[in-house]
Amino acid sequence: MPAPPATAAVTVRELRWTDFDPLREMYYLLYDERETNPLIGIHLFAERPSYADEVRWFSALYQRVLGGDAVVRVAEIDGQVVGSCAVGRDGPTATSEIGHTGTLGILVHRDFRGRGAGRELMRTTLEGCRGRFEFVQLSVNVENPRARKLYEEFGFTAFGRRPAATRRGTRYLDVDLLQLDLRAAARKD
């Protein structure tokens, strides 16, 4: 995917059914990136999932969005999908004992990192979480200070660490656990 000029504007919108192929392709690229950058922040399977696996994943995600149990935003630059951010409900329903909490995952295509797509994805996704979740949690590799800085800019605070949470080959990576209290943000409005 050729990168447009750094000045191209980022557009963020809700997930569409037609986003499956560009998101799958971007996710597959992470398997190649892991070979040269073992510290990439997203958790991967040992082997690249099959196309059928990805269809099942996307179908389930899309159903969760339609059911109100997930907020997903997609970033575009010049009409190209360059990233996504999702917050999925931790519980099976909003009324379950853990239904008030969502877990955030974000992905930006490697050719577009550092150009504002991640920041815009976070901003619009978290806006969509207001009134739907009370807390949003995430994990970040301790060796990824750039991502952690972004999360902290949005008000995420650390509440723990999982040692050796990710195993990449023979290397273990610790992750910090961060949380954003959306109730506090609602009280400020």
pLDDT digits (tens, 9 = 90+) for 130-140: 999 999 999 99
Please state the pTM of the whole predicted model: 0.90
Torsion of CA 179, 25, 56, 15, to 10 degrees: 60
* CA dist list (Å): 187 to 37, 161, 184: 41, 28, 5
10-188 maps to which CATH number? 3.40.630.30
| Sequence letter at residue 27 | Y
Q: What is the pLDDT of residue 5?
A: 54
Q: What is the pLDDT of residue 60?
A: 96
Separation CA 24–CA 27 (nearest Å): 5
- The dihedral built from the CA positions of residue 111, 104, 148 and 170, taken in this order, carries a sign that is negative
pLDDT digits (tens, 9 = 90+) for 13-44: 999 999 999 999 999 999 888 888 877 777 78
Q: What is the pLDDT of residue 6?
A: 59
Contact 165, 175 (CB under 8 A): yes
Q: Strand 80-89 to strand 10-14: parallel, antiparallel, or no bridges (unpaired)?
A: unpaired
The low-confidence residues of the chain, meaning pLDDT below 50, are none
Among residues 91, 73, 90, which one has the least CA distance to residue 82? 73
Give the SS3 label for residue 137: strand
Q: Where are the alpha helices (DSSP H) in the chain?
A: 20-36, 51-66, 117-129, 145-153, 182-188
Q: What is the pLDDT of residue 186?
A: 59
Separation CA 168–CA 57 (nearest Å): 22
